[in-house]
């Protein structure tokens, strides 16, 4: 019985509360301007009005970004370098001919020039006049020094070499008739200091005729070039004497295009024991002189 009374009391209390809530609900729900009511179980959402859009937001609603320390940030990686324009590949012609390799020909080694033989030397220096010493004539005492110490020359070789340098100045060689002029025999001596001594003529047989004066002058002119030098006998280095035989011939050869009385050619082949030497010169007129020099004897005293 008590339970039924309690249950009725609670039901009455609950009913009274429900009535109060229903009576107050219409007063709290006022229609907002520009609102749209949706029937049923829909939820009403207020649309923004011009007044609300113009109303600034409260400071609390704006989130302020915290300051960032720039220095604490990691460094920005460097940008990759610009690769630049790609190289343009030049198209090669399809049919371009390949150059043929040229193998250089091996050059033949040049032959080493042989030194001139003293027996084959020749000179070709014209003289300056008929009565003067020919230009290009070697200095006195400089003939025939080949094969010996400096300052000493073999006598037979030196005499042969001096002949075409000293002889052309005598004008009689151009005036004499062509042919054999004659033979002269001389003996030359060399002392202990390799100096020339007196010159003597010798005969191959008793009663031999005296040689022509032009041959005697030829010997004198030649010795002038030799007096200042030092000489050794052709077959010995000791003091002694040497006998020479000089045989002279004149010839008329072809003249130059412009004939002159100057010497246009000289040559000699030095005399040595067992081998005669030769001396030669030619004027521009074609007149040629040739002497054969033979060493008849050479020995110490």
In this predicted structure, what is the pLDDT of residue 124?
44
H helix runs in the chain, sequence order: 2-28, 50-54, 155-166, 172-175, 213-226
User: Which percentage of the chain shows pLDDT scores above 70?
Assistant: 50
- What does the block give as tokens for 278? 């030769």
35: left (phi over 0), alpha (psi -120 to 50) or beta: beta
Of 72-81, 163-172, 265-274, where does mean pLDDT reach its minimum? 72-81
Tally Cβ neighbours within 10 Å of residue 79.
6
Backbone angles phi, psi at 184, to 5 degrees: -130, 140
- pLDDT at residue 236 in the model: 85
Residue 166 has what pLDDT?
Answer: 95
Paired sense of beta strands 240-252 and 179-190, if any: antiparallel
DSSP SS3 for 283? strand
Distance between CA 211 and CA 17 in Å, rounded? 192
154 pLDDT above the threshold of 90: yes
The token pair that represents 86 in the structure block = 């790609």
pLDDT tier at 144, thresholds 50, 70, 90: very low
Give the pairing type, strands 287-300 and 230-232.
unpaired
Q: What is the pLDDT of residues 32-57, one digit of tens each?
A: 444 444 555 555 555 555 554 455 54
Model's pTM, two decimal places? 0.53
For the residues 280-296, what does the mean pLDDT come to? 97
- The Cα–Cα gap between 214 and 172 comes to 7
Render pLDDT for 205-216 as a digit per residue (tens, 0 to 9). Answer: 898 999 999 999
Give the model's pLDDT for residue 275.
96
Residue-wise burial string across 263-291, b where 16 or more C-beta atoms lie within 10 A, e elsewhere: bbbbbbbbbbbeeebbbbbbbbbebbbbb
Q: Which of 124, 158, 156, 122 is nearest to 140 (CA)?
A: 158
Q: How far apart are CA 25 and CA 19, in angstroms?
A: 10
Q: With beta carbons less than 8 A apart as the criterion, state whether 141 and 225 touch.
A: yes
> CB neighbours of 191 closer than 8 A, spacing ≥ 6?
197, 239
The confidence score (pLDDT) of residue 248 equals: 98
Position 121 scores a pLDDT of 46
Pick the residue with more confidence: 124 or 293? Answer: 293
Model pLDDT, residue 59: 45
pLDDT for 170-203, tens place per residue? 999 999 999 999 999 999 999 999 999 989 999 9
| Distance, CA of 219 to CA of 201 (rounded, Å) | 10
| Residue 289 near residue 280 (C-beta atoms within 8 A) | yes
Say if CB 167 and CB 248 are below 8 A apart: no
Mean of the pLDDT values across residues 250-266? 95
Both tokens of 110, joined, read 């040049």
> Are the C-beta atoms of 155 and 242 separated by less than 8 Å?
yes
Better-predicted residue by pLDDT, 156 or 126:
156
Q: Is residue 24 pLDDT above 60, yes or no? A: no
Per-residue tokens: 289: 């002189």
């Amino acid at each position: 019985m008590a339970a039924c009374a309690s249950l009725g009391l609670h039901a009455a209390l609950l009913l009274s509360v429900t009535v109060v809530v229903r009576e107050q609900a219409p007063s709290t729900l006022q229609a907002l301007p520009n609102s749209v009511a949706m029937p049923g179980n829909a939820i009403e959402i207020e649309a923004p009005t011009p007044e609300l859009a113009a109303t600034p937001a409260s400071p609390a609603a704006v989130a302020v970004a915290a300051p960032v320390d720039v220095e604490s940030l990691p460094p920005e990686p460097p940008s990759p370098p610009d690769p630049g324009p790609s190289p343009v590949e030049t198209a090669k012609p399809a049919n371009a001919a390949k150059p043929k390799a040229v193998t250089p020909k091996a050059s033949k080694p040049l032959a080493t020039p042989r030194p001139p033989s003293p027996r084959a030397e020749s000179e070709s220096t014209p003289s300056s006049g008929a009565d003067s010493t020919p230009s290009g004539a070697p200095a006195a005492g400089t003939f025939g020094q080949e094969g010996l110490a400096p300052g000493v020359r073999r006598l037979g070789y030196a005499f042969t070499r001096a002949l075409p340098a000293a002889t052309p100045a005598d004008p009689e060689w151009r005036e004499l008739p062509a042919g054999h002029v004659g033979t002269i025999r001389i003996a030359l001596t060399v002392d202990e200091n390799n100096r020339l001594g007196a010159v003597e003529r010798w005969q191959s047989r008793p009663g031999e005729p005296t040689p022509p004066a032009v041959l005697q002058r030829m010997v004198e002119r030649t010795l002038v070039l030799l007096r200042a030098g030092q000489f050794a006998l052709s077959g010995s280095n000791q003091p002694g004497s040497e006998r020479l035989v000089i045989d002279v011939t004149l010839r008329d050869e072809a003249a130059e295009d412009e004939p002159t009385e100057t010497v246009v050619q000289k040559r000699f082949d030095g005399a040595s024991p067992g081998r005669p030497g030769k001396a030669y010169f030619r004027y521009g007129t074609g007149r040629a002189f040739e002497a054969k020099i033979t060493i008849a004897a050479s020995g110490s005293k």
